[in-house]
């Protein structure tokens, strides 16, 4: 094992030995190299005359560039857009994003968390988490309805086993009983249990209530208290898009932090949906745990392992994307812009509920609970979802996503409020068409 990795492991073990147990084999071996990058960083601080350490081209004291490139981003200097960003991410962006955690999650007050490490979008954050914390045959607990790419990242690529529980109970809320039973069952079979919590949820658009959220945290903390190592990962891709009063307005990460030494909270989020910049690919990984002694040294070690993992995959996330996000968050209009777009999506969700309450739809489908995010789902009662999807696409030019035999996902994030009624009338007609064909 590399001596740098050994040193990082010793720091982590001193602060919380259970974290060493949770790391994957790759995670224990990860480190951030002291080679060219660290030497370049030192030169950046001290080489005031000439610095010839890093592999970029310069000209007349500026970053070499094409006018045809900078013409599209003329308000940002080449040094803030075309050069390599640190594998950890731009320091100013990391601090601004960390500060935003405390503003958006009041339950974090008085707690310590790591500086977020920047990833190339949240999908990349999930993949980096998997490398650092998952070994083949580890178990990840997920609901029966989930984003399909989890299977690719966690199962296909990492070889982890996905164990499902029913997302909804019969009273149309989060199925706490099924969740608790699944967690306890897996803890009896494994030394480490990974739980992935995705709210607002993709594909259903559901976020737990405050009461449900508190119970989830209690279940996981109790499990840790009984000797299980628990990694609770919150995929907060759609954070902030909460449309109803009873919906939990904080990330579960906030209440999971610091609950027990055997409980590690990992927050995966990003500007992707929060700032509506999907193609900029700016995500973050943040850690929260109960640590003895120098907690910042432990977080620094975890950040270095994470940055080392990024260095060993994509090297670093886009400097340009990070700079654009940073400048946007520092803009005086940032919060007003977020509120404006939030209201648009909230109004669409409200209109959806109004329309779907019409009794004429009830024979064709049931509506899964939704109160947040980009999506909602219906459960068809009499026709196959994929057959209906193809029929709607070919006959009516309407595109939806089929999930399993009966579920259909509608992304109201890209559905104008004025088009909602027409959409569901077309879906209803499609169901009638197929029933008439006895399909």
pLDDT tens profile 72-96:
788 899 889 988 899 999 999 999 9
> Residue 57 — φ and ψ, nearest 5°?
-105, 140
276 token code pair:
């509506």
pLDDT at 58 over 80: no
| Domain ranges (residues) in the chain | 3-32+87-330, 335-436
> Residue 56 — φ and ψ, nearest 5°?
-125, 165
The burial class, CB within 10 Å (0-12 / 13-18 / 19+), for 414 is exposed
pLDDT at 43 over 70: no
Task: Provide the Cα torsion 218, 224, 229, 235; round to 10°.
Answer: 10
Q: Please name the residues in contact with 212: beta carbons below 8 A apart, sequence gap of 6 or more.
A: 173, 174, 176, 248
pLDDT at 155 over 80: yes
Question: What is the predicted pLDDT for the residue at 65?
Answer: 72
pLDDT at 52 over 60: no
CATH class of segment(s) 335-436: alpha beta
Which of the two residues, 437 and 29, has the higher pLDDT score? 29
Angle at 254 between CA 251 and CA 257, to 5 degrees: 135
pLDDT at 57 over 60: no
| Contact (Cβ atoms closer than 8 angstroms) between residue 28 and residue 2 | no
Question: What is the predicted pLDDT for the residue at 407?
Answer: 95
pLDDT at 404 over 70: yes
- CA dihedral for 100, 105, 110, 111, sign (positive or negative): negative
Q: What CA–CA distance (Å, rounded) separates 304 from 297?
A: 10
Choice among 56-70, 312-326, 333-347, 398-412 with the minimum mean pLDDT:
56-70
With H, G, I as helix, E, B as strand and everything else as coil, classify residue 232: strand
The burial class, CB within 10 Å (0-12 / 13-18 / 19+), for 99 is exposed
342 pLDDT band, cuts 50/70/90, is very high
| Contact (Cβ atoms closer than 8 angstroms) between residue 137 and residue 159 | yes
348 token code pair:
């669409």
Give the C-alpha distances (Å, rounded to integers) separating 127 from 131, 166, 334, 381.
6, 25, 29, 36
The burial class, CB within 10 Å (0-12 / 13-18 / 19+), for 338 is middle
Write the pLDDT tens digit of every residue in 129-142: 999 999 998 999 99
Mean pLDDT of 193-220: 97
Angle at 272 between CA 271 and CA 276, to 5 degrees: 90
**Inter-helix orientation angle 334-356/420-436, to 10°:** 40
CA 200 to chain centre: 10
Mean pLDDT of 323-338: 92
Mean pLDDT of 248-272: 97
Going along 31-138, which residue ranges are E strands? 58-59, 62-63, 117-119
64 pLDDT band, cuts 50/70/90, is low
60 pLDDT band, cuts 50/70/90, is confident
Domain 3-32+87-330 indexed as CATH 3.40.640.10: yes
What percentage of the chain exceeds 70 in pLDDT?
93
DSSP string, 198-245: -SS-TTT----BHHHHHHHHHHHHHHHHTT-EEEEEEE-TTTT-B-ST
> Residue 429 — φ and ψ, nearest 5°?
-65, -35
Mean pLDDT of 365-373: 96
Write the pLDDT tens digit of every residue in 294-308: 989 999 999 999 999
CA 164 to chain centre: 19
41 pLDDT band, cuts 50/70/90, is low
Mean pLDDT of 396-413: 92
Mean pLDDT of 39-48: 63
Q: What CA–CA distance (Å, rounded) separates 232 from 217?
A: 9
- CA dihedral for 180, 109, 125, 158, sign (positive or negative): negative
Q: How many residues does the chain have?
A: 439
pLDDT at 228 over 80: yes
């Amino acid at each position: 094992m590399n001596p740098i990795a050994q040193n990082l492991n010793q720091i982590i073990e001193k602060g919380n030995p259970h974290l060493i147990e949770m790391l994957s084999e790759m995670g224990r071996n990860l480190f951030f190299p002291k080679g060219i990058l660290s030497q370049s960083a030192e030169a950046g601080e001290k080489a005031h005359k000439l610095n010839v350490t890093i592999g970029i081209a310069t000209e007349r004291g500026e970053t070499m560039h094409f006018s045809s490139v900078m013409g599209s981003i003329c308000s940002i200097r080449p040094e803030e857009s075309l050069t390599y960003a640190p594998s950890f991410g731009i320091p100013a962006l990391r601090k601004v994003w960390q500060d935003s955690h405390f503003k958006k999650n009041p339950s974090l007050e008085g707690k310590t968390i790591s500086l977020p490490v920047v990833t190339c979008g949240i999908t990349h954050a999930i993949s980096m988490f998997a490398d650092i914390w998952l070994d083949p045959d580890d178990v990840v607990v997920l609901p029966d309805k989930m984003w399909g790419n989890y299977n690719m990242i966690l199962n296909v690529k990492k070889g982890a086993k996905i164990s499902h529980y029913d997302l909804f109970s019969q009273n149309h809320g989060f199925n706490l009983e099924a969740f608790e039973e699944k967690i306890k069952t897996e803890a009896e079979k494994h030394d480490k249990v990974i739980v992935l919590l995705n709210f607002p949820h993709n594909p259903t658009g559901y976020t737990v209530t405050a009461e449900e959220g508190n119970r989830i945290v209690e279940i996981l903390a109790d499990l840790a208290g009984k000797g299980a190592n628990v990694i609770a990962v919150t995929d907060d891709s759609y954070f902030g898009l909460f449309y109803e009063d009873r919906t939990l307005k904080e990330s579960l990460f906030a209440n999971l932090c610091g609950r027990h030494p055997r409980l590690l909270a990992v927050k995966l989020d990003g500007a992707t949906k929060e700032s509506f910049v999907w193609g900029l690919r700016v995500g973050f990984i943040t850690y929260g745990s109960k640590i003895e002694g120098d907690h910042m040294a432990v977080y620094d070690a975890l950040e270095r392992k994470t940055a080392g993992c990024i260095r060993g995959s994509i090297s670093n996330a886009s400097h340009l994307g990070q700079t654009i996000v940073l400048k946007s968050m520092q803009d005086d209009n940032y919060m007003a812009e977020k509120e404006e777009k939030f209201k648009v999506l909230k109004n669409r969700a409200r209109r959806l509920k109004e329309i779907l309450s019409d009794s004429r739809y009830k024979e064709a489908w049931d509506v899964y609970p939704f109160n947040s995010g980009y999506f909602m789902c219906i459960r068809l009662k009499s026709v196959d979802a994929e057959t209906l999807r193809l029929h709607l696409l070919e006959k009516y030019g309407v595109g939806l996503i089929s999930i399993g035999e009966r579920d259909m996902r509608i992304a109201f994030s890209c559905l104008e409020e004025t088009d909602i009624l027409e959409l569901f009338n077309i879906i209803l007609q499609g169901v009638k068409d197929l029933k008439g064909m006895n399909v």
